[in-house]
Amino acid sequence: MSPVPVSWYLLLAAALFAIGAAGALTRRNGISIFLSIELMLNAANLTLVAYARQLGDHTGQVIVFFVMAVAAAEAAVGLALFIAVFRNRLTIDVNRMNLMRW
Amino acid sequence: METLIFALFASLALGSSIVVVAHKNPIYSTLSLVVTLFSVAVLFVLLGAPFLGVLQILIYAGAIVVLFLFVVMLLNVQREEMPHSGQPGQRVAALLGAVVFAAFLVLLFWRAGSPQGQPLTEEFVSLKALARQLFSTYLLPFEIVGLLLLVAVIGATVAARKPPEVEETASKEAAP
């Protein structure tokens, strides 16, 4: 049994993060942007777990635990905000949300 | 064997994450995010973190994605999507930026070499050591995260509630 090199996981995480970043920049539907952000958070989690494996230390895994909790809080509050915005403006297209511009 | 599983789930994660970003319908994006999260959970298990893998499936795929699906269906957003496609250069610029960013990251990790990492020990995989660290060294952040979740629940409830004046006018209209 030959273990997979840790750097492969890091490369995969980099690719996932780049895909998520491209999505967050190009999509204009608020929910799709949120999904892209979750993707980036997951890529960061994968990096942390990979380094925890390489260093033989649990700290990275503890941080991933906290990241998951914060992501849950972020999703709940963000989706509630989108519901509130949708109720007022009948759209969640981020290009049309310009109340706070200037 | 391990390499095979890694290749399978890494390609699954990459493919489904591209679907997440590229699909026009938010429902399909959300559903393929489940596939991505599941693949990453398998990779967590491969990396010797079975607790985090289970947590990933329970919290992300179980709770967060259901929340997303719920909101997508509640708001019925798919017909709003994509008839007018923003600034023309935006997509090209974002793709270019992502590619350059990924290239830099790859370069960074490449120069770090390809270490094999520590061999997996029973002590590393077991929950005991992780729990001991979580509840001793990181006890204060743990409590703060609990508080954060409580605040988030209250904040989400307040933010998603109907504004009170709307309710008043609605009840006034309904009364006579």
Query: Over the stretch B133-174, which tens digit does the pLDDT of each residue have?
Result: 889 989 999 999 999 999 999 999 998 887 766 555 555 555
Å from B175 to nearest chain A CA? Answer: 23
Mutate to test the interface with B, among A39, A90, A94, A98 (most CBs of B within 10 A): A39
Q: Do B21 and A82 touch (CB under 8 A)?
A: no
Q: Do B52 and A92 touch (CB under 8 A)?
A: no
Q: Do B102 and A14 touch (CB under 8 A)?
A: yes
Count contacts between A and B (CB, < 8 Å): 242
Taking CB atoms and an 8 Å cutoff, what residues of chain A touch B67?
A: 75-76, 79
Å from B102 to nearest chain A CA? Answer: 6
Final residue in a domain of this structure, among B79, B98, B113 = B79
Residue A42 to residue A34: CA distance in whole angstroms? 12
Residue A23 to residue A93: CA distance in whole angstroms? 14
Q: Report the domain count for chain A.
A: 1
For residue B150, which phi and psi values (nearest 5 degrees)?
A: -60, -45
CA atoms within 13 A on the CB side of A15: 17
Give pLDDT tens digits for B89-144: 777 877 888 888 878 877 777 776 655 656 677 777 788 888 888 899 899 999 99
Å from B176 to nearest chain A CA? Answer: 26
Residue range(s) defining the domain that contains residue B75: 1-79
In this predicted structure, the answer to whether residue B83 has a pLDDT above a threshold of 50 is: no
For the segment A46-54, the average pLDDT, to the nearest whole number, is: 89
The pLDDT value recorded for residue B92 is: 80
Q: Does residue A56 belong to any structural domain of this protein?
A: yes
The pLDDT value recorded for residue A1 is: 46
Q: Do B148 and A82 touch (CB under 8 A)?
A: no
Q: Does residue A35 belong to any structural domain of this protein?
A: yes
In this predicted structure, the answer to whether residue A78 has a pLDDT above a threshold of 60 is: yes
| Shared domain check, B142 and B72 | no
CATH of the domain at A66: 1.10.287.3510
**ipTM computed for the complex:** 0.88
Of B47, B59, B137, the CB nearest to A68: B59
Query: Measuring CA to CA, which residue among A25, A94, A3, A71 is closest to residue B94?
Result: A25
Q: Does residue A17 belong to any structural domain of this protein?
A: yes
Residue B141 to residue B115: CA distance in whole angstroms? 31
Residue A3 to residue B74: CA distance in whole angstroms? 45
